[in-house]
Amino acid sequence: MIARARPAWWLGAAVLLAVLPWVPGLQSDFGRSLLSQMGIAAIFALSYNLLLGQTGLLSFGHAVYFGLGGYVSAHFMRAINAGLPVPIALVPVAGALAGLAFGIAFGALTTRRGGTIFALISLGVGELVHATSLMLPSFFGGEEGVTASRTKAPHPLGLDFGSQLQVYYVIAAWLLVAALLMHAFMRTPVGRLCNAVRDNPERVEFIGYNPQRVRFIVFSIAAAFAGLAGGLHAINYEIVAAEALSATRSGEVLLMVYIGGVHHFMGAILGAAAITWLQVSLSDYTTAWLLYLGLLFMGIVAFVPGGLAGLVTMHLAALRTRALAAIARAYAAALPVALLASAGAITLIEIAYRRSTQPEAGTRMKLFWIPMDTAKPWPWLAAAALLAVGAAALLRLWPRVSRAWASAGEELHGRG
């Protein structure tokens, strides 16, 4: 649901975005680069949720508009490098216009149908554009992609893009603008009709609207915002390659939005931040990070249909109930065994990964500060035992958690 947003809420978001790069831990170039990537992903994910969460359109090719927006922006930046007097901060406008143009062109074909047909056609268009990108090196730059400089440009207001901090602030500003615009879009007549089309496209026809037209409009707008994110991608990396419009990136944004929660506006932002963090940080710790991402996705789809945003709103609601203490106690009891089970599972995954993907690294490794030898049976047995005991205990404790939530639910619904 899209709630009415108060100005105070947006002001708070602006302050948060301004303060984030100064938070300890994020103060480095690495932290600011992470925040920049999160911001780009957030815009991309918000645009995707206009389709998935708001209109019920499952696209497997949304990166097409991100990538094409990125390529056009990179060429635009090259023109600026060659002397075109436009500040770099406005490059995303070119990305958005490119996204819009391609969204209109492809959307006219793909949005005639919803549901499965739409999903399959989006997959086809994605592959088509990806294949084309490798066949037209003059525009797409072949395998190396298109490079451009963000510093060789006019510097209004001292904005020279010399530091990651400046790049971040431009991304943050665009994120705020894009989020405001997309939020406002959902509160217009056609935005509401997107929800109606998601719920029941047939009934929409009988209240006078053509659901195809509604899908086409939201598709074009989502493509424009994806292109805007692509433009920021071009500024941030100073290179755009075929990966930017690949099926991998299309799948990634689906993961972000689903893990974040499709039913809540904030979900896409949460999911984008979480997945970007996993990609950047977790990949430093383990080569199995994609497996963990997959497990997280499966867990969310199976057990938390509301995603991260759903979890947050659920717990915020529980704060107002008397069941809060019971929930906290149940969590406190379940947490140690959940950690135990996770430790067992992680150990199993890590030693299996070490043996199968990096045999050259040898059999000795350290996990949770404990040295172990993957050639010996005891790490396997110990990890399996941890997992089994932890999981069994968790299954026994879980009814307590459910009961606590059930009473919280009763209290909330009883109040109306």
Partner 1 sequence: MADALAVTAPEAVVPAALELRDVHKSFGATSIIRGVSLSVPRGERHAIIGPNGAGKSTLFNLVSGRLRPTRGSIRLEGQEIAGKRAFRIARRGLARSFQVTNIFPRLTVYENIRCSVLWSLGYRYDFWRRIDRLRDANERAEHTLEQIHLAGRRDALAGVLTYAEQRALEIGITIAGGARVILLDEPTAGMSRQEAEHTVELIRSLTRDRTLVMVEHDMGVVFGLADRISVLVYGEIIATDVPQRIRANEAVRAAYLGTVDA
Site for partner 1, rule CB under 8 A: 4, 184-185, 187-193, 195-196, 198-200, 202-210, 213-214, 217, 221
Q: What is the rounded CA–CA span in Å between residue 385 and residue 408?
A: 34
Closest by Cα among 126, 69, 71, 123 to 101: 69
- Tokens representing 245 are 């419009």
Shortest Å distance, C-beta 42 to partner 1: 21
Shortest Å distance, C-beta 149 to partner 1: 36
Q: What is the rounded CA–CA span in Å between residue 99 and residue 230?
A: 9
Nearest residue (CB) to partner 1, 190 versus 397: 190
How would you write 125-186 as a 3-class SS string? HHHHHHHHHHHCHHHHCCCCCEECCCCCCCCHHHCCCCCHHHHHHHHHHHHHHHHHHHHHHH
Q: What is the rounded CA–CA span in Å between residue 174 and residue 89?
A: 9
Nearest residue (CB) to partner 1, 5 versus 365: 5
Nearest residue (CB) to partner 1, 88 versus 186: 186
Beta bridge partners of 146: 240
Nearest residue (CB) to partner 1, 35 versus 204: 204
Nearest residue (CB) to partner 1, 203 versus 376: 203
- Tokens representing 313 are 């709103």
Shortest Å distance, C-beta 408 to partner 1: 18
Shortest Å distance, C-beta 255 to partner 1: 23
Nearest residue (CB) to partner 1, 41 versus 182: 182
Query: Which of the 8 DSSP states describes residue 6?
Result: P
- Tokens representing 181 are 């615009």
Nearest residue (CB) to partner 1, 205 versus 243: 205
Cα dihedral 267→273→276→281 (10° resolution): -130
Nearest residue (CB) to partner 1, 243 versus 410: 410
Are 267 and 257 within 8 A, CB to CB? yes
Beta bridge partners of 371: 366
Query: E strand or H helix at 366, and its extent?
Result: strand 364-367
Nearest residue (CB) to partner 1, 27 versus 210: 210
Shortest Å distance, C-beta 143 to partner 1: 39
Shortest Å distance, C-beta 332 to partner 1: 33
- Tokens representing 156 are 């209004």
Q: What is the rounded CA–CA span in Å between residue 366 and residue 350?
A: 10
Shortest Å distance, C-beta 195 to partner 1: 6
Shortest Å distance, C-beta 202 to partner 1: 7
Return phi, psi of residue 149, to 5°: -105, 140
Handedness of CA 250, 255, 261, 267 (dihedral sign): negative
Extract long-range pairs of 160-164: CB within 8 Å, 24+ residues apart.
161/88, 161/235, 163/29, 164/29, 164/32, 164/33, 164/36
Nearest residue (CB) to partner 1, 207 versus 319: 207
Query: E strand or H helix at 365, and its extent?
Result: strand 364-367
Shortest Å distance, C-beta 110 to partner 1: 18
Shortest Å distance, C-beta 111 to partner 1: 13
